[in-house]
């Protein structure tokens, strides 16, 4: 007689064999069905590369275009510099230099008046030259106009001795005209 609570050795061996067969059967079924562990590392990297590649190509094309444009700009700047060199300084700078030279010439020709008579005009005329260069670069003639008016006021109200200021006043007038052309809007071709 056997106790139902105590497993029979034969029954236990059969159970172990049945469990082993069942595990083997499950392993065979699992092996037959491929496991999907997702994309491989190579597949992930390829997908990332394919997503980035169009942007890298577009970026490289933009860089190439900018390099080409930079080269064109450099060539154009060299052309402008050569044309400016050939044409000489702009009229505003020429007239400002002329005004400064005339004020200095009057001061040099009249040492008997003393330096006080020409000090303010010499200072303003010297500043006028740099203001003219700045006005050419920035198209802002406010400082230039202020200094031109200061020299003109000095020339018109000069006292102490009769000096012919007509050429100085003419250059100041020409300087004013040249300065006004700097601020005028550029004419459009074909209009």
Distances in whole angstroms, Cα of residue 19 to Cα of each of 8, 15, 26, 79 = 16, 6, 10, 93
Chain position carrying tokens 């005329």: 125
Reported as a pLDDT band with limits 50, 70 and 90, residue 9 is low
The distance between the two most distant Cα atoms of the chain, rounded to a whole number of Å, is 155
- Indicate whether 158 belongs to any domain: yes
- Indicate whether 167 belongs to any domain: yes
Tell me the pLDDT tens digit for each residue of 10-29. 577 777 787 778 877 877 77
Rounded CA gap, 29 and 162, in Å? 122
Those residues whose C-beta lies under 8 Å from the C-beta of residue 160, and which sit 6 or more positions away, are 113, 117
- Indicate whether 35 belongs to any domain: no
Host domain of residue 178? 86-183
Nearest to 131 by CA among 79, 93, 87: 93
Chain position carrying tokens 């000095």: 154
- Indicate whether 104 belongs to any domain: yes
Determine the distance from the C-alpha atom of residue 86 to the mean position of all C-alpha atoms in its chain, rounded to a whole number: 28
- Indicate whether 36 belongs to any domain: no
pTM of the model: 0.54
- The overall average pLDDT reported for the chain is 83
In the chain, what is the straight-line distance between the N-terminal and C-terminal CA atoms, in Å? 124
Domain tally for the chain?
1
Rounded CA gap, 101 and 108, in Å? 10
Rounded CA gap, 128 and 124, in Å? 6
pLDDT reported for residue 190? 52
- Indicate whether 95 belongs to any domain: yes
- Indicate whether 118 belongs to any domain: yes
Reported as a pLDDT band with limits 50, 70 and 90, residue 8 is low
Tell me the pLDDT tens digit for each residue of 83-116. 877 776 788 999 999 999 999 998 888 888 887 8
- Indicate whether 26 belongs to any domain: no
Q: What average pLDDT score do residues 35-60 get?
A: 84
Rounded CA gap, 180 and 139, in Å? 10
């Amino acid at each position: 007689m056997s106790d139902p609570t105590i497993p029979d050795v034969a029954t236990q061996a059969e159970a172990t064999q049945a469990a082993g067969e069942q595990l083997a059967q499950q392993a065979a079924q699992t092996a037959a069905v491929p496991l999907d562990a997702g994309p491989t590392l190579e597949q992930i990297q390829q997908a990332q590369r394919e997503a980035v590649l169009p942007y890298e190509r577009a970026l490289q094309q933009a860089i190439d275009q900018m390099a080409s444009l930079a080269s064109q700009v450099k060539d154009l700047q060299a052309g402008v510099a050569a044309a400016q060199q050939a044409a000489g300084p702009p009229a505003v700078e020429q007239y400002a230099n002329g005004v400064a030279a005339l004020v200095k010439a009057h001061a040099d020709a009249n040492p008997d008046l003393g330096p006080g008579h020409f000090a303010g005009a010499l200072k303003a005329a010297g500043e006028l030259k740099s203001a003219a260069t700045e006005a050419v670069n920035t198209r802002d003639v406010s400082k230039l106009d202020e200094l031109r008016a200061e020299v003109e006021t000095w020339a018109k109200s000069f006292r102490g001795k009769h000096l012919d200021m007509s050429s100085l006043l003419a250059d100041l007038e020409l300087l004013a005209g040249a300065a006004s052309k700097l601020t005028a809007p550029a004419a459009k071709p074909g209009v």
